[in-house]
Amino acid sequence: MKIGERDNRLNLNEGVETQTENQTYTNENNIYIFQAHLQNEENSASKINKLKDLIRKNLPGCDLVLCIFIAALKSFRADKCLRPFPQYFVNEKDEKDFVSLKKSFDKIPPLSEFLRIPAQNIPQDVADLLLWLFFASGIPILTKDSVENLPVSVLNTKASINPVPQHVFEVNYSPKIDETWMKRTRSKTVFYAFHGSPVINFYSILKIGLQQHFSSEKEVIFGNGVYLSNEISICTNYAPFAKTWNHSTIGTKHSIIAVCEVINDEENVKCKDENNRKRALNQNSYGEIPEKYFVVTNSELIKVKYLLVYGNGGPSAVKSFVKKHFLWILIVLYIVMLLMIKLYNMGLWKKSIRLVYFLQKYCLAFNTYLNN
């Protein structure tokens, strides 16, 4: 064998060995990537299952959170109302992508339907949004309660002015927040009052509470602070109905009034007080604060405890059916109308009525026979 041929064969063998090693490495690398992908899928499925468990245990509360979220999202003040903002929808330029967020939210089906969808069939953006909203946003848990359990009466002799709320939700905070509140209320008296606000504001209210500095952005009669009242009918004027989530089971239009715990601090809770007339005067106020009103100048003295939800009822099954099959219903009605006209023109109208009457009597007689 010539030296050149031997060198070529050695080079060829080395090339084959190198290629085999590279192929083995590539295959192993692909296996690792595949395993990591499977693990991510398992982690994602596990998270979605936890999400489903949460929704299953507290469907009305999760439903209301989505109603409040979409109201803030579709508001013309969305940039201010939607805080905190989902980090998945912040682009590379650190800009909030409201368009993508709306598109993702619109994909969310009714929660009862969402529970039946397999984890692998749920769009990733929908899963990310719901997981963030219920686990990472810091929004407290809302649980269904009843009017009877409220610490303050919401009833009024004039029912038309002050109707009973359709839904009552208790606001459940983290243990840390509850502990902080307990320390503040220690050795101090607490009373309850109502606060009305547009639905679009409740997303941020649930997250950061009622803030007194927000009133500085608008014209106020009795000075800056959080306005409350012990008369719920006063608050209804500040809680207009607004369209929320089309897939909600608790209605598609809502009005919300908060029931708040308030620490009775004479310096920072301004109100009518017979024992202390100066308490009715607030800084930058146009006059004395009237009865049934409270102006709290320190937001740390307020805690939203309940949400009173007034709604127009859930979407009707009949309406949903008509909306879905509207064209076919029109076609059927048109055919029925043509048949009626045909029968009338043929002079069979009276005979048809007699036939229907006879069949009705026959069915009633047969039903009586079966019952006996």
Domain match, 130 and 150 both? no
Q: Is residue 241 part of a domain?
A: yes
Q: Is residue 357 part of a domain?
A: no
Total residues found in the chain within this entry: 372
pLDDT of residue 123: 93
User: 155 is in which domain, residue-wise?
Assistant: 141-312
Q: Is residue 52 part of a domain?
A: yes
Q: How far apart are CA 280 and CA 100, in angstroms?
A: 48
Domain match, 127 and 220 both? no
* Boundary-marking domain end, from 266, 288, 312: 312
> The tokens of 366 are what?
């047969």
* Boundary-marking domain end, from 104, 137, 170: 137
Domain match, 272 and 301 both? yes
Domain match, 163 and 123 both? no
Q: Which residues pair with 222 in a beta bridge?
A: 285
Q: How far apart are CA 205 and CA 221, in angstroms?
A: 22
pTM, to two decimals: 0.72
DSSP summary character for residue 37: H
Domain match, 152 and 124 both? no
Domain match, 308 and 219 both? yes
Q: Is residue 190 part of a domain?
A: yes
Q: Is residue 158 part of a domain?
A: yes
Q: Give the chain's domain count.
A: 2
pLDDT of residue 322: 63
pLDDT of residue 97: 93
> The tokens of 143 are what?
């649980």
Long-range Cβ pairs for the range 271-278 (8 Å, 24+):
271/295
Quickly tell me which residue has 């949460």 as its tokens: 54
Nearest to 317 by CA among 249, 260, 372: 249
pLDDT of residue 274: 77
Domain match, 58 and 103 both? yes
CA distances from 58 to 52, 54, 174 (A): 10, 6, 16
> The tokens of 274 are what?
């017979």
pLDDT of residue 305: 96
CATH number for the domain harbouring residue 215:
3.90.228.10
Tens place of pLDDT per residue across the chain (372 aa)? 444 444 444 343 444 344 444 444 444 444 333 334 434 544 688 899 999 999 999 999 999 999 999 999 999 989 988 988 998 899 888 899 999 999 999 999 999 999 999 999 999 999 999 999 999 999 999 999 999 999 887 765 444 456 789 999 999 999 999 999 999 999 889 999 999 999 999 999 999 999 876 654 555 678 888 999 999 988 888 999 999 999 999 999 999 999 999 999 888 888 887 777 788 778 777 778 888 899 999 999 999 999 999 987 444 445 545 655 677 887 887 787 777 776 666 665 566 666 666 666 666 665 555 455
Domain match, 158 and 71 both? no
* Boundary-marking domain end, from 122, 137, 152: 137
Q: Is residue 146 part of a domain?
A: yes
Domain match, 105 and 147 both? no
pLDDT of residue 277: 78
Domain match, 126 and 145 both? no
pLDDT of residue 16: 37
Domain match, 202 and 122 both? no
Q: Is residue 300 part of a domain?
A: yes
Q: How far apart are CA 77 and CA 210, in angstroms?
A: 17
Q: How far apart are CA 192 and CA 262, in angstroms?
A: 6
Q: Is residue 358 part of a domain?
A: no
Q: Is 336 helix (H, G, I), strand (E, B) or coil?
A: helix
> The tokens of 279 are what?
């308490």
H-type alpha helices, 190-313: 202-208, 232-235
Domain match, 132 and 164 both? no
